[in-house]
Every structure is written in structure tokens, then in C-alpha cells.
């Protein structure tokens, strides 16, 4: 039985240095400001500089990973002697997973004796990162590639995502809210509380007035639905609002006695659609 590598993409919003430490190969989605002449990979842009440019009014566009990029990534690991378990960015948000699926189908013809399994995480940002982390723990426990793929498939809909944003204009640009709601919500200080549903789509669930109320709403979701309040793994990602991320972490620790495991940036590719001030919480719960 061949050893296997768990492979992912930058939609997971786990820093490249951390992915390297975890031994996880990955491919980058791309982002480009309208004023730039060329695209940049997700990890080539300093997140703080990226969000400062957004605050200054610049508009960023993103692009998925193509089939050829995945083919090169997969072949590199196959040629090194590893089978591949790819955990990908939600198909409900990006075409990236579909490109990986096509690449895997094509490569299987060249490597008929090898195993290439692709799993649609139906997750985004550090939610994908948390599911990746859990898969790595199962690999360390001795799960085979098939057992791990089954574990990820069976548990991905328990990977809970809760988001809020600070400025509704970015959701308006992406067509997730109407211009009228963005204008009225901005004037009244309305903040949306959103989650990623079972189809991997980002959906608006409720609205609260004020930033602190939105952060408290995220913490309340953890208290209401987490499977293991004391020992469960918790990730937070943020769009250059580390003070708010730390406040959320403190709220969770105060109520549940649980320290947050990782606080990371919402990377430029996802941040291009959610904007500065995005705050997101991820944990394993009873259901999404």
C-alpha cells in the first residue's frame, strides 16, 4: 500500500508556512486588482496591504485554479511515490474543485495503478482548513486513504461556518444582497450573520445592529451548537481585524473555557468578495 499525501488549495486560508509544516502540498487561486497588470497568487500578496487597498476603494477580481495546474501538482506527488487525497474549496463557491476533479480523471489514465481521490469540502476559508486539519489527524492515527476520504465525506457537513462582515458594499458587489439593503443596512449599522450551508453556498441567516452584537452572535452560535465545547478544535479567520478576532476568541474562552486553536487571515481570494472586517468562526457542530 502506497503512502498518501493530503493535498489542498489556498481556499483553506491556512498560511503557506503552516501548510508546509503540516506536509500539505497546495495550489494557489489567483487575485488581481483592476489597476494591476497581472494576477497574483493568493499567497503572494501581503494581507494587510491587500485590505488597505480595498479600503482605499480598489476592486479585486479572482480566478479559480485550472485543470493544468492541478495536473502538474498531482503528477509531482504521484511521481514522488504518493497516492493523493485532495480536499478542495467548496464547489458552491468556486470552480476550483471541478478543475481538480477533471484533472484527477485524466491522470488516472496515466497512473492506472495509483489512487487519486478528490473530496469536495463544501467548506470555505479556515473551515476548509479545519476539515483539512482533522483529516491530517486521522492520517496520523493510521487511516488509509479510503478510510480518510470516507471520514471527510461523512463529517464535512458538521463543519460549522459562521461569518459576519463590516461593510455591506462587498456583498452587494457579489450579488449576495440588494443595493437597497446595502444602503439601508450601512446607514443603520446593520451587520449580517451568515453561514455556509449544506450545498457549500454562503447564505445570509440573520441581521443584528452593531459590530459587537454581530461578534456576540458568532460566539452564541458556538455555545448553542458545538459538539465538544471543552475540547473541540476551533479556528477563526479575519479580514485584517485582529482585535475583533481576539475579542471573539475571548468570548468563546469565557463561556466555554476553550482556547481558540488557530487565528488566521481571510486570504485575498476570499477577502476580495467579503471585504475588510470579515470575521469568521469554524468548529465541529451538530449540524451546519
Each residue's pLDDT tens digit, 200-218: 887 777 788 889 999 999 9
Q: Is the same domain home to 9 and 96?
A: yes
Q: Are residue 46 and residue 177 in the same domain, yes or no?
A: no
Rg over CA atoms, the chain: 19
For position 35, which CATH number holds? 3.40.50.10170
Are 279 and 194 in a shared domain?
yes
Last residue of a domain, one of 135, 155, 175: 155
DSSP 133: H
How many degrees, rounded to 5, is the angle at CA 245 between CA 243 and CA 250?
95
Q: What is the CATH number of the domain that holds 185?
A: 3.30.1180.10
Note whether 63 and 124 are same-domain residues.
yes
Average pLDDT over residues 26-46: 93
Tell me, yes or no, whether 122 and 203 share the same domain: no
pTM of this structure: 0.93
Indicate whether 141 and 166 sit together in one domain: no
Counting the structural domains of the chain, the total is 2
Average pLDDT, the chain: 91
Residues 2-34: pLDDT tens digits?
A: 799 999 999 999 999 999 999 999 999 999 999
**242: Cβ contacts below 8 Å, ≥ 6 apart:** 263
Can you read off the three cell numbers belonging to residue 40?
Answer: 497574483
Residue 170 and residue 117 share a domain: no
Last residue of a domain, one of 97, 131, 155: 155
Answer yes or no: do 85 and 121 share one domain. yes
pLDDT of 138 strictly over 70: yes
Identify whether residues 147 and 21 lie together within a single domain: yes
What is the pLDDT confidence band of residue 192, given thresholds at 50, 70 and 90?
confident
Phi, psi for residue 286 in degrees, rounded to 5: -65, -35
Here the contacts of 167-176 (C-beta below 8 Å, separation 24 or greater) are: 167/275, 167/276, 167/277, 168/192, 169/275, 170/54, 170/273, 170/274, 170/275, 171/204, 171/274, 171/275, 173/59, 173/273, 174/273, 176/202, 176/204
Range of the domain at 174: 158-284
Residues 99 and 40 in one domain: yes
pLDDT at 188 over 50: no
Regarding whether 208 and 119 lie in a shared domain, the answer is no
Which of 155, 172, 196 finishes a domain?
Answer: 155
208, 171: one domain: yes
Q: Does residue 183 surpass a pLDDT of 50?
A: no
pLDDT band at 191 (very low <50, low <70, confident <90, very high): confident
Q: What is the pLDDT of residue 133?
A: 98
- Which band of pLDDT confidence, cut at 50, 70 and 90, is reported for residue 187? very low
pLDDT at position 193, please? 85
pLDDT of 17? 95
Cell readout for 191 is: 451587520
Amino acid at each position: 500500500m502506497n503512502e498518501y499525501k493530503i493535498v489542498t488549495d489556498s481556499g483553506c486560508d491556512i498560511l503557506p508556512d503552516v501548510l508546509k509544516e503540516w506536509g500539505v502540498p497546495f495550489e494557489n487561486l489567483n487575485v488581481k486588482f483592476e489597476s494591476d497588470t497581472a494576477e497574483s497568487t493568493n499567497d503572494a500578496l501581503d494581507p494587510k496591504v491587500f485590505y488597505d487597498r480595498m479600503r482605499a476603494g480598489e476592486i479585486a477580481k479572482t480566478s479559480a485554479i485550472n485543470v493544468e495546474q492541478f495536473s502538474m501538482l498531482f503528477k509531482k506527488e504521484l511521481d514522488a511515490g504518493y497516492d493523493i487525497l485532495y480536499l478542495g474549496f467548496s464547489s458552491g463557491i468556486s470552480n476550483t474543485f471541478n478543475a481538480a476533479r477533471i484533472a484527477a480523471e485524466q491522470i488516472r489514465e496515466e497512473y492506472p495503478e495509483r489512487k487519486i481521490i478528490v473530496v469536495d469540502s463544501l467548506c470555505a476559508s479556515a473551515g476548509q482548513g479545519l476539515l483539512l486539519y482533522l483529516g491530517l489527524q486521522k492520517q496520523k492515527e493510521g487511516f488509509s486513504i479510503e478510510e480518510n476520504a470516507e471520514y471527510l465525506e461523512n463529517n464535512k457537513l458538521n463543519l460549522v461556518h459562521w461569518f459576519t462582515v463590516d461593510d455591506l458594499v462587498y456583498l452587494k458587489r457579489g450579488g449576495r444582497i440588494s443595493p437597497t439593503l446595502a444602503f439601508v443596512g450601512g446607514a443603520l449599522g446593520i451587520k449580517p450573520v451568515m453561514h455556509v450551508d449544506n450545498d457549500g453556498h454562503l447564505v445570509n441567516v440573520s441581521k443584528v445592529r452593531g459590530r459587537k452584537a454581530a461578534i456576540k452572535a458568532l460566539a452564541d452560535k458556538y455555545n448553542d451548537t458545538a459538539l465538544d465545547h471543552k475540547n473541540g478544535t476551533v479556528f477563526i479567520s479575519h479580514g485584517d481585524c485582529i482585535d475583533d478576532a481576539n475579542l471573539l476568541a475571548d468570548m468563546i474562552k469565557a463561556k466555554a473555557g476553550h482556547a481558540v486553536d488557530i487565528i488566521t487571515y481571510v486570504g485575498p481570494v476570499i477577502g476580495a468578495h467579503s471585504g475588510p472586517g470579515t470575521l469568521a468562526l469554524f468548529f465541529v457542530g451538530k449540524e451546519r
